[in-house]
Amino acid sequence: MKKTITTLIFLLLIISCEKDDICTTPNADTSHLVIRFYDYLNQSTPKEVTNLLIVGVDNTLSYGIESTRDSIAIPLRILENNTSFRLIKDYAIDDNGTPTDSSDDFATGNEDIIVLNYDNEELFISKACGFKNIFNNVNFGFNSDADNWILSSNVVNTKIKNEDNAHIHIFH
């Protein structure tokens, strides 16, 4: 009798178990905004931005600290319909002539602020993968100042659903 009850419990446990849910779907994550930088005078030629620092406006997250690159992939806010970033070209820390005293250090570089507006759409992928966000009707702009390093821009793709190609081209 004990053997029959043990076998019955064992069979019920096996039948009630689910297979492991593992997300194997490609592009199941929310995609980043991909920006590609180009030469303003020869707009088909990619051009690196030297010592680029990317900082989110209204947060302290930094991306690409002191890196030189011709493209970036940065996240957009999923709980809002806009995101802004400070893009600082030629970023460096000036120690103010006192290398052992960091209290008087200050950042140098040319800062431009980019602003993105979009419609946020949640898309259910699967039970294992959950939801992914797609950004539609992407609109891009940058704040104008006396010393812009960003000279113009072009929205190449107004829908961000993957990171296969650039969504925005910035000319400098």
Lowest mean pLDDT among 2-6, 14-18, 132-136, 167-171: 14-18
pLDDT recorded at residue 60: 64
Residue 147's Cβ-side half-sphere holds a number of Cα atoms within 13 Å equal to: 6
- Give the pLDDT confidence score for residue 101 in this predicted structure: 83
3-state secondary structure 95-144: CCCCCCCHHHCEEEEEEEEEEEEEEEEEEEEECCCEEEEEEEEEEEEECC
Q: pLDDT-based confidence at 37, cuts 50/70/90?
A: very high
Q: Please report the pLDDT score of residue 128 as a whole number.
A: 79
Tens-place pLDDT, residues 118-164: 999 998 888 878 888 999 999 999 999 999 999 999 999 999 998 88
What pTM value is reported for the model?
0.80
| Per-residue pLDDT reduced to its tens digit, 56-83 | 888 766 666 557 889 999 999 998 999 9
